[in-house]
């Protein structure tokens, strides 16, 4: 890959400030109610303080929901319960403010941004600010062919990095990360299965739409075949994303790594963001210190990826709709943790 050295991320990404975190812990010892009474909210407040480098922690005032969108050729095998017209329907609902994520984002005061990386539709169907980063029209069918060329994988990865810089430069102080895809969970299961060394059946979930048993078997077979193609390129994360990922997944991976460089905290949603996070961890082992797992989606691949990264989901409400919805439900918890850490009085 010309000019893009992933090894640089290992040195560019620093952990959240450990000294500040100790200061936040010491401050919490003096506050009411007593330490431990607020459960994980204490931990979240200290995590935010370390990321911000600030005690007391600053409020989360400019959160952003970021959704990378794309279609995957493997969906043609009947492995997804998503819309027949593809992810464009999901994008249209999100932009119209009618999706679950859009409604919650509006309620919680979070901006919502959709980035088209590989929708299988005419780019004129959506505003230019949505489609200007598109790499290709749909990603390849990963059971029999590469999702992307090497050049497309690099372009998508760089797009994710550029979006991370745009968000950091605009003052976004926390990102809720999700996806709008059809077939994306199949690619995600393949990435996680390859990186964790497991069989297809272990990482084949039923997707956001809850596919039936026949579709699950087709999905399992597709992941099995894609895993055979993934294993020879495990040593090169960009090649892996090109082989069995997709433009939206490559962009998400680049976004996660550059967000860690820019010290922007991220809440992960479902299995797609978890798969990209696992790839990113292979690039830079400190990067997961900047991420929270918003929810347990019930997908076995997501559970395996989060366990590998030692990320404990904040919520487990059985939300499978995807699109950033489950992670958005965790946003008020993070905001509450910041407010309590900053505003609780000291014990007399």
Split at pLDDT 50, 70, 90, the class of 82 is: confident
Domain annotation for the chain: domains and CATH numbers: 8-58+339-343 (1.10.1610), 63-334 (3.40.50.10210)
User: What integer pLDDT is reported at residue 1 of this predicted model?
Assistant: 42
Quote the mean pLDDT of the chain: 96
User: What integer pLDDT is reported at residue 35 of this predicted model?
Assistant: 86
Q: At what angle do helices 184-196 and 271-283 cross, to 10 degrees?
A: 40
CB contact at 8 A, 249 and 271: no
User: What integer pLDDT is reported at residue 176 of this predicted model?
Assistant: 98
| Residue carrying the six token digits 């797609």 | 272
- Rounded to whole angstroms, how far apart are CA atoms 50 and 330? 19
CB contact at 8 A, 119 and 71: yes
175-219 tens-digit pLDDT: 999 999 999 999 999 999 999 999 999 999 997 777 899 999 999
Split at pLDDT 50, 70, 90, the class of 81 is: confident
| Cβ-based neighbours of 227, under 8 Å, separated by 6 or more | 190, 193, 194, 200, 244
- Rounded to whole angstroms, how far apart are CA atoms 199 and 190? 9
- Out of 46, 61, 323, 346, which one is annotated catalytic? 323
Split at pLDDT 50, 70, 90, the class of 252 is: very high
- Rounded to whole angstroms, how far apart are CA atoms 179 and 101? 11
99-122 tens-digit pLDDT: 999 999 999 999 999 999 999 999
Task: State the alpha helices, DSSP H only, in 171-246.
Answer: 184-196, 200-203, 213-230, 237-244
164-178 tens-digit pLDDT: 999 999 999 999 999
CB contact at 8 A, 137 and 119: yes
CB contact at 8 A, 70 and 181: yes
The mean pLDDT of 132-145, rounded to a whole number, is: 97
Residue 242, pLDDT above cutoff 90: yes
DSSP 287-341: GGGGEEE-B--S-HHHHHHHHHHT---SB-S-----TTHHHHHHHHHHHHHHHHH
The mean pLDDT of 151-173, rounded to a whole number, is: 98
CB contact at 8 A, 267 and 331: yes
Q: Is 323 a catalytic residue?
A: yes
Percent of the chain at pLDDT above 90? Answer: 92
Percent of the chain at pLDDT above 70? Answer: 99
């Amino acid at each position: 890959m010309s000019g893009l050295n992933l090894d640089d991320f290992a040195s560019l990404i620093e952990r959240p400030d450990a000294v500040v975190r100790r200061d936040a812990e010491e401050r919490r010892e003096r506050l009411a109610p007593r330490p431990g009474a607020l459960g994980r909210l204490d931990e979240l407040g200290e995590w935010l303080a370390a990321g911000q480098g600030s005690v007391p922690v600053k409020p989360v005032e400019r959160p952003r929901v970021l959704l990378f969108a794309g279609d995957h050729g493997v969906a043609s095998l009947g492995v997804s319960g998503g819309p027949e017209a593809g992810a464009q329907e999901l994008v249209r609902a999100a932009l119209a403010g009618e999706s679950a994520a859009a409604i919650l984002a509006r309620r919680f005061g979070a901006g919502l941004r959709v980035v088209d990386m590989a929708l299988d539709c005419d780019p004129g169907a959506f505003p230019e600010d949505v489609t200007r980063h598109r790499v290709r029209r749909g990603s390849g069918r990963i059971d029999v062919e590469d999702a992307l060329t090497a050049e497309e994988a690099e372009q998508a990865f760089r797009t994710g990095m550029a979006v991370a810089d745009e968000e950091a430069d605009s003052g976004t102080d926390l990102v809720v990360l999700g996806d709008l895809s059809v077939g994306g969970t199949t690619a995600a299961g393949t990435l996680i299965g390859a990186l964790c060394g497991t069989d297809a059946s272990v990482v084949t979930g039923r997707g956001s739409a809850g596919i039936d048993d026949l579709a699950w078997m087709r999905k399992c077979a597709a992941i099995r075949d894609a895993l055979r193609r993934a294993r020879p390129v495990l040593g090169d994360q960009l090649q892996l994303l090109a082989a069995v990922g997709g433009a939206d997944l490559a962009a998400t991976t680049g976004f996660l790594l550059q967000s860690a460089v820019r010290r922007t905290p991220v809440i992960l949603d479902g299995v797609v963001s978890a798969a990209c996070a696992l790839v990113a961890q292979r690039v830079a082992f400190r990067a997961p210190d900047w991420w929270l797992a918003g929810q347990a989606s019930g997908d076995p691949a997501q559970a395996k990826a989060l366990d590998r990264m030692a990320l404990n989901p904040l919520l487990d409400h059985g939300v499978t709709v995807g699109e950033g919805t489950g992670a958005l439900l965790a946003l008020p918890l993070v905001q509450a943790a910041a407010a309590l850490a900053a505003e609780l009085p000291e014990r007399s």
